[in-house]
Each structure stands twice: as C-alpha cells, then as structure tokens.
Amino acid sequence: MNGNGERGGEAFSPSSFGALAANPEKWALFLDIDGTLVDIAPTPDAVEAPAGLAASLAVVMTGLGGALALVTGRGIGFVDRLFHPHCFPLAGLHGAELRLPGGRTIAIEPSPAFLQAKAALHAGAASLPGVIVEDKGVAVAVHYRLAPHHRDSVEALMREAAVRAGPRWSLQSGKMLVELKPAAADKGEALKSFMRGAPFAGRQPLAVGDDLTDEDMFAAAIAHGGRAIRIGDGNARTLAAGRIGTPAHMRTLLASLADTWERDRR
C-alpha cells in the first residue's frame, strides 16, 4: 500500500505515458470507455466521442502493432457507433462479448430466466420516474443519476432481478447505476483472453479505467507484470498505482502519443 492508500503495480504517472512512445513493441493498452475516454453524461445515450478521439485511438493502435483493446460495460454495437468508422478490438458488456483482433467475436447468450428478470425490471422501473433502464441484450443497466432519491428502490429491484435470473447472472454496481450481467463476464478475464493471443501475448499490459468494474482489469494487468491507471480524484480505493485526473487529460495524452507516431511516420 503506498501513501495514497493505493496498492499494486509500479507507479506510472501521466508523464511516463511517453514510455509507450519509446518502446511501443513492449506494451499492450487496455482502455475503459465511460469516464476514461469520454466524459460522464446525464444519460447513457448522451455521451459523445470528442473530435479526434477515434482517430487518435486508431493511430495509437497502429503504433502498438495492433495491441490495443477497449474493455467496457457497453455493448459492441454502441461502441462501433460511437467510434464510427473504426471497429476496435473490444470486450463489451464487461467481457460478455469479445471481438478479438481479426474480427472473430465470442458472446454469451441470454437465458430464458434472465429475459424474464429483464422484463420484470422494465416493469418495476416504470414506476420510478427519472430511472432509466438501459437494455444491452445479455446485460441490463438501471440508472438513477437523474433520480438519486430512487437509489434504494433501484438496488432492491436489482436484487430481486438477480434472484430471478439465477446464479449465471450477477450484480455490478457502477457510477449511479446497478447492472445485471453474466456472472462469468469480468474485465480481468477479458484482459487475459486478449493477452493469450497475438499481438498482445508477451507484452506488458497497461490498463486504464475509472470505476469498480475496472479493478478486475487492473488486477489482471498487474498479475501479467503490467501497470494500471485510475482516472478521477484520489479518493477511491484502487489497485492502480497511477492516476490521471480526468478523461480530458487522458484524451490529451492519447492525442500527443498519436501525434508523435504520426510525425515519425512522415
């Protein structure tokens, strides 16, 4: 545990992001989306990818020899629309969907019990004004950002839904939301899946995220001899030894890495 109450991995400050520029063949980059690459918005559909972000990611991915993957609670379809026309290697729905380099996809299918639980959630949330149900197929997120006074009701509804769905589905808390997702899906397992194959295998993973669900990914990155960076203020307990204050700062670092590699190519 260091002086900031942080554990694990070697310190990796934003200024040493340049280590990637110096030795791109040694690194693999795993990036969360909401709260890491894009700013938190009032509703799930209101997020925007700022101009240049998708292009920066594409250049960084090329610079890393393809060893970049997005690891997110979002579904593949949403991410592809957000970063159109780019289709990055991706773990969606916290790892319930994987799109590996080359485009092969692996996905968990919803069970009848999960579909019933989801229908009950839609019905239950309809009586909670301001609460948003984000139906993601094999996962579902219920958001109370616009109605924080409904937090306890949302949590109770989600506990009931988890019982209905059965042991193959589990709850995941996040930023003003609770999700029901396949229990087998976790961001750490997703990182390990990528690390088993080319071009990730043998590299040092750097994982960047902002939330509880990213801690599994941090643990996996550190176990592979890599590093972790948490986005946000310094209060959250985290395994990450590195900190970056905001998604805007993260985007600046990516843009400057992309610029360096663009310049070198000319």
Ligand X SMILES: O=P(O)(O)OC[C@H]1O[C@H](O[C@H]2O[C@H](CO)[C@@H](O)[C@H](O)[C@H]2O)[C@H](O)[C@@H](O)[C@@H]1O
5 binds, among Mg ion, ligand X, none (CB under 5 to 8 A by kind): none
134 near Mg ion, rule: CB under 5 A? no
Binds Mg ion (CB under 5 A): choice among 8, 9, 35, 226: 35
Binds ligand X (CB under 6 A): choice among 4, 13, 43, 256: 43
Q: Which of residues 60-119 bind ligand X (CB under 6 A)?
A: 72-74
What 3-state DSSP class applies to 153? helix
- The single residue listed with the structure tokens 């545990």 is 1
Q: Which of residues 197-216 bind Mg ion (CB under 5 A)?
A: 210-211
Active site residues: 32
Q: Which is nearer to Mg ion, 35 or 110 (CB)?
A: 35
Nearest CA-CA partner of 36 in 139, 135, 147, 175: 175
Tokens of 259: 């610029």
CA distance 7 to 182: 28
Measured between alpha carbons, how far is residue 198 from residues 99, 188, 195, 203 in Å? 13, 18, 8, 10
248 near ligand X, rule: CB under 6 A? no
Q: Which of residues 103-122 bind Mg ion (CB under 5 A)?
A: none
171 near ligand X, rule: CB under 6 A? no
Q: How many CB atoms lie within 10 A of CB 4?
A: 13
Partners of 209 in the β-ladder:
230
Q: What letter does residue 167 receive in the DSSP assignment?
A: T
Q: Which is nearer to ligand X, 41 or 119 (CB)?
A: 41
34 near ligand X, rule: CB under 6 A? yes
Binds ligand X (CB under 6 A): choice among 9, 89, 174, 188: 174
Instruction: Specify whether the CB–CB gap between 182 and 198 falls below 8 A.
Output: no
CA distance 238 to 225: 17
What is the pattern of x (binds ligand X, CB under 6 A) and - over residues 177-216? x-x-------------------------------x-x---
**Interface residues toward ligand X, by CB under 6 A:** 32-35, 40-44, 47, 72-74, 134, 141, 143, 145, 174-177, 179, 211, 213
